[in-house]
Homo-oligomer: A and B are copies of this chain.
Amino acid sequence: MMEANMNNADYQYRVEVCFMPGQFPLYAQDMGIVVVIDVLRATSAMVAAFENGVDRIIPVSTIEEAKAYIGKPGFIAAAERNGEVVDGFTYGNSPLAYVGEDLSGKTIVMTTTNGTKAINLAKDAKTMVVGAFLNLSALSEWLVEQNENILLLCSGWKDKFNLEDSIFAGAVMERLLESGKFGVEEDSSIAAKYMYMSARDNFLSLLKAAPRRRRIEQLQLLPDVKYCLTPDQSRVIPVLRNGELVRMETLVKA
């Protein structure tokens, strides 16, 4: 039996997990920071893009909005639906598409099935940041220093629960609970930590579950998936300002 009593006796702030965008209104109250999570693959792609020099990312809801930026100097238009690059676009939501490129000074305009939808939903939060295994430690270390309630918002898969986002949320939660400063009130938060504790030794084994493996093989996503599940490849924390994602460090300097 795992230790279910994970709460610190005298915590100052809450850290909670919301499993899917549709549940966001039920969890959003009193939350100072919302972390949007779409491990496979939108938020991983965003961190990878910043790591490779991108200046800002504009998340948009529709393919049409993104399309207007195709061929525009200084812009990269990226669009994904159902795990595939949308016709007419060069970029989808694959983080590996950005790795090894010099994207300094460029702006990405991105629309994805799940991730940009969750970002749009959380855009009015006091602070909205983007999380993925790629920036797990940098993000967790920053979060621990904040004096706010924190909501870990999983993007899910087509409005449903997904495992990788929830397990990532559990990973962040574990680090915040260790600090003694944060506690939980919601069953979803306790469950996310259970799942992380079950899966922590081998994230990839999650994919052994037949239906997911099938989809990933069909889409030839395995290199992407391995990359997205490898923690701490970046220190970048993307943060939303005026509808655009920028690096946290840019704000701090400004």
Interface residues, chain A, CB within 8 Å of chain B? 1-2, 4-7, 9, 19-20, 22-23, 26-27, 157-163, 166, 183-188, 190-191, 194-195, 197-202, 205-212
Contacts and interface: CB of A to CB of B under 8 A. Distances in A.
Given A26-B160, A160-B23, A161-B19, A1 B209 contact: no
30 contacts: A1-B198, A1-B200, A1-B202, A4-B206, A4-B208, A5-B209, A5-B210, A6-B209, A7-B209, A7-B210, A19-B19, A19-B161, A20-B23, A22-B23, A23-B160, A23-B161, A26-B158, A157-B187, A160-B187, A161-B187, A161-B188, A161-B191, A163-B187, A166-B191, A183-B210, A186-B211, A187-B209, A191-B191, A191-B195, A195-B195
A183 B23 CA distance: 27
Nearest to A158: B26
B210 A191 contact: no
Contacts of A160: 23, 26-27, 186-188
Contacts of A206: 4
Given A4-B205, A19-B19, A191 B163 contact: yes
Contacts of A208: 4-5
Contacts of A22: 22-23
B212 A1 contact: no
Given A197-B198, A198-B197, A209 B4 contact: yes
A22 B156 CA distance: 15
B7 A211 contact: yes
A159 B186 CA distance: 12
Nearest to A162: B187
A7 B206 CA distance: 12
- The 4 tightest CB contacts between A and B, nearest first, are A5-B208, A7-B210, A161-B188, A185-B211
Given A163-B187, A190-B209, A191-B166, A199 B1 contact: yes
B205 A187 contact: no
A2 to B, nearest CB: 5
Contact of A195 (B20, B194, B209): B194
A173 to B, nearest CB: 13
Contacts of A157: 187
Contact of A26 (B159, B190, B197): B159
A22 to B, nearest CB: 6
Contacts of A163: 187, 190-191
